[in-house]
Amino acid sequence: MIRQIRATLALVVGVLIALTGLFGVSTAASAAEIPNSGDSGISNVKTDKQQYAHWEYVEVTFDWTVPNGSKAGDTMTLELPEGLDWASIADFTMTVSESDSTPVADVSIDRAAGVLTITLLPYVEAHRDVTGSANFRSTFNTEKVDVNTPTQTVDLFGTQVTVTGDVPTPGPDWLGKNGWWYDSEYESTGQNADGSLINANGPHITWVAQLSNTGWTQAVVKDTLDTSLQVCRDGKVIPGLEPHLEGRDIATGRWGQPVPDSASLTTTCNDDGTFTFTVTKPASLVDPQIRVVYYSNLVTDEAGRPVVDGTTTVGIKPAYDNAIEVILDGTETETYTKVVQAFGAGGYGSGVPGPAIDIEKYSGEWEGVQFVDGVPQITAGPEYEPVNQPEGDYDTGALTVEPGAETTVAATVTNIGIETLGSIVVSDLTTDGPALTNVQCTVDGRTFDADASGVVKITDVLLAPGASFLCTGTLTLAASETHADTAHVTAAGAVTGIPVEDEDVWAAEASAEATTPPTTPSTTVPPTTVPTTPTSSTPVPPSLAQTGGTFDAVPFLAAAAALIAGAAIVLVRARAARK
């Protein structure tokens, strides 16, 4: 529905930033912290569940809302409860969506203070009703949460959650596989500005191959590692990733015990990229239970950036897997797989573009776009459809009319943006059947007629935010005749010069023969909507000179932006659903 020139908007925002620096206009002094009031700031902070083991990750989500009128540089903050510590979050930028990389806000953290800060970017000055959501992963702070307490209650963002401590289970344990980020996901995946890993040398992920506490004497563990990870290089274990044996006391169930010298471990790096551990022990050694602890690094390119699956694609994978085949004394074989996830952190946000226009074509009655507290009630982008679509808005299907009857067709044009619009042109393109006749638009009592091609130029008029006007035309069809057309409107921001457009299709068909004498259906034509402040449409006088003894940079910035926007018009169609 809204058509806007994204490239031009980006250019204008960039030029405004450059000119701001040129003329020394500073936004830092006016930057404000947005309070978390419920209506604005950060809200709806939630954890993924209400009961955790002390070693589990806590996945946190929250919403954020930007008050209209906020500026680039304004901030909002979230404080981490003392029971939590950062796990996955590193500084990142929130964009409009996964497919739209337009930056909306930067997110940074102060690990020492335990504070997350969202800093708004210029996007918020060109949009209104900007909202979004974000997520991050955290762990329990072992200095505040006693891991040896069987059960305790911890307050997380106002919600009481239950945390179970480290209560080992005595007795024999299973044979299997496990893995986790070496220190934390934050330390293992943190990247510098150039994308290189902060912890370049690792280790990044810890793995364990747990062996049964039975009377075997040789265990062969063949490991197949995710292709985005590495343990060996040039036929040898990478320095710093050397594996070792660890024991578990059967009586207490606790790992971390020393293993007798009678047990040994050798590692072989295989040519096919796998590696093999061979563990030998006396048959009588069943306590402590034994496991192999080993480490892996993320594969990086020459610049130290993590790459995916042996390709040149840079990034952190959502998950890293590791499979082992365990053979005990050459006969008993078991296979296990473990996945370590990279939950990461991220978020998106979007709002209604600053200059924006809507046209709805229909037959019958329609009350127009609804506004609540000055905000148009429309769907989310990129469509931005009015929530109260006209009943006679035949985007699909067709209105059935009587042959020979004169049917009044209406189109309402509404400024649904935050900037006054000028240079308004309305057109009606017939794509099937006879064209509409008597096409005209009425703005504040002034009537503008269409030319021979169906184009109506709304001259010397500015359309304020929230204001609208009505265009009408007459359709007459013969028996079984059909009609289809596209109503189209273009305009430009009166200050920024950013061009906008919208269109709406409509169709009708006549029945095979008249069932009633031809009549003109009653169509209620809503009056031009004029908001109290500002006036809906103001005649534009001829160029007026403005004089004064003090130079003001703001009008200059606006004028420069308008000139640049006017020279970079590339229309982007945002209404794909109506093609």
The proportion of the chain whose per-residue pLDDT surpasses 90, expressed as a percent, equals 58
Q: What is the 3-state secondary structure (H, E, C) of 420-482?
A: CEEEEEEEEEEEECCCCEEEEEEECCEEEECCCCCEEEECCEEECCCCEEEEEEEEECCCCCE
Residue 352: pLDDT over 80? no
Rounded Cα gap, residues 221 and 275, in angstroms: 8
Measured from the Cβ of residue 236, the count of other Cβ atoms closer than 10 Å reads 10
Q: Which CATH number is 32-161 given?
A: 2.60.40.1280
Of 125-139, 281-295, 349-363, 527-541, give the lowest mean pLDDT range.
Answer: 527-541
Rounded Cα gap, residues 85 and 112, in angstroms: 10
CB burial class (10 A; 0-12, 13-18, 19+) of residue 512?
A: exposed
pLDDT tens digits for range 550-563: 334 334 334 334 43
10, 12, 14, 19: CA torsion to nearest 10: 180
Residue 28: pLDDT over 50? no
Q: Are 578 and 503 in contact (CB under 8 A)?
A: yes
Strands 127-140 and 346-353: antiparallel
Q: Which CATH number is 354-541+548-578 given?
A: 2.60.40.10
pLDDT tens digits for range 174-197: 788 999 999 888 788 888 889 899
Of 8-17, 213-222, 372-381, 383-392, give the lowest mean pLDDT range.
Answer: 8-17
Rounded Cα gap, residues 191 and 314, in angstroms: 11
Average pLDDT over residues 229-242: 95
Please report where in the chains the tokens 């003894």 appear, as a residue: 549
Rounded Cα gap, residues 104 and 130, in angstroms: 9
Average pLDDT over residues 126-150: 88
CATH topology of domain 170-341: Immunoglobulin-like (2.60.40)
pLDDT tens digits for range 434-471: 999 999 999 999 999 999 999 999 989 999 999 999 99
Q: Are 359 and 503 in contact (CB under 8 A)?
A: yes
The proportion of the chain whose per-residue pLDDT surpasses 70, expressed as a percent, equals 82
Rounded Cα gap, residues 472 and 487, in angstroms: 11
Domain 32-161 identical in fold to domain 354-541+548-578: yes
In 3D space, the residue among 394, 393, 377 whose CA is nearest the CA of residue 385 turns out to be 377
pLDDT tens digits for range 317-340: 989 999 999 999 998 788 999 888
In 3D space, the residue among 120, 578, 530 whose CA is nearest the CA of residue 384 turns out to be 578
Mean pLDDT score of the chain: 83
Residue 228: pLDDT over 70? yes
Q: Are 503 and 393 in contact (CB under 8 A)?
A: no
CB burial class (10 A; 0-12, 13-18, 19+) of residue 178?
A: middle
Rounded Cα gap, residues 445 and 270, in angstroms: 85
Average pLDDT over residues 277-296: 96
Q: Are 4 and 570 in contact (CB under 8 A)?
A: no
Rounded Cα gap, residues 337 and 320, in angstroms: 11
Rounded Cα gap, residues 285 and 456, in angstroms: 93
Average pLDDT over residues 372-390: 82
> For residue 471, what are the β-bridge partners?
411, 441
Could you tell me the residue ranges of all domains in the chain? 32-161, 170-341, 354-541+548-578
Give the HSE-up count for residue 28: Cα atoms under 13 Å, Cβ half-sphere. 3
* Per-residue pLDDT, 168: 78
Cβ-proximal residues to 229 (8 Å cutoff; 6+ apart), any chain? 204, 205, 296, 297, 298, 299, 320, 322
For residue 17, what are its two tokens? 């930033």
